[in-house]
Amino acid sequence: MKDQELITQWGLVVEAVAGVNRVAEQDLMEHDTISMPTFEVLLRLSRTPGHRLQMTDLAGGVSFSSGGFTKFADRLEDAGLVKRHPCLKDRRVTWVELTAHGTAIAERASAQHANLLRQRLLSVLTDHELLELGRMMRAIRDSIRPDVLT
């Protein structure tokens, strides 16, 4: 495959994701007043047993730097969505835990987001195609494991 074609094919992926993210974030903002990174954090926490995770783990999930996530977590806490508390086993660690309010928002926003994806994605792709898509993307994601220099 030629260089140009390769770049173009992947460019389509990037454009599509940017487009969906844009409308999805608008949607989340209107209905639940949360940004996409906020939604991702709430979703990750709501899917974790105990509804809590370390700062570092959450930071990685949204591709934030350590320092950047500290300030992001400050805002989440100010908004009453999460609560921080120290880990007793390892006192360097701080847990970030979903509040009752955070849990409620996560559920509402998930339903909202799923509806949007249904409209925007499944009007264009079959269920089978979406699964194929997921399979390919998982393979790519898994091959990009941090610091795997081939």
Partner DNA sequence: TAAGATTGAGGTTTCAATCTTA
Partner DNA sequence: TAAGATTGAAACCTCAATCTTA
Task: By CB under 8 A, name the one of 89, 91, 92, 141 that touches its own copies.
Answer: 141
From the list DNA, its own copies, none, pick the one residue 84 interacts with, judged by a Cβ distance below 5 to 8 Å according to partner type: DNA
| Nearer to its own copies among residue 93 and residue 136 (C-beta) | 136
Joined together, the tokens standing for residue 120 give: 């925007």
Of residues 72 through 91, those in contact with its own copies by CB under 8 A are none
Q: Is 22 in the site for DNA (CB under 7 A)?
A: no
Is 63 a residue that touches DNA (CB under 7 A)? yes
Helix (H, G, I), strand (E, B) or coil at 89: coil
Tell me if residue 71 falls in helix, strand or coil: helix
Residue 40 beta carbon to DNA: minimum distance, rounded to whole angstroms: 11
Contact of residue 120 among DNA, its own copies, none (CB under 5-8 Å per partner type): its own copies
In the block, residue with structure tokens 């030629």? 2
And the tokens for 106? 């996560």
Question: In sequence order, what are the residues at sequence separation of 6 or more whose Cβ sits closer than 8 angstroms to the Cβ of residue 65?
Answer: 59
Is there binding between residue 19 and its own copies (CB under 8 A)?
yes
**71 is a contact residue toward DNA (CB under 7 A):** yes
Interaction between residue 137 and its own copies (CB under 8 A): yes
Nearest Cα residue to 113 out of 13, 46, 14, 15? 46
Binding mask 46-65 for its own copies (x = CB under 8 A): -----------------x--
Q: Identify the bridge partners of residue 53 per DSSP, sorted by sequence position.
A: 96
Q: How far apart are CA 150 and CA 52, in angstroms?
A: 33
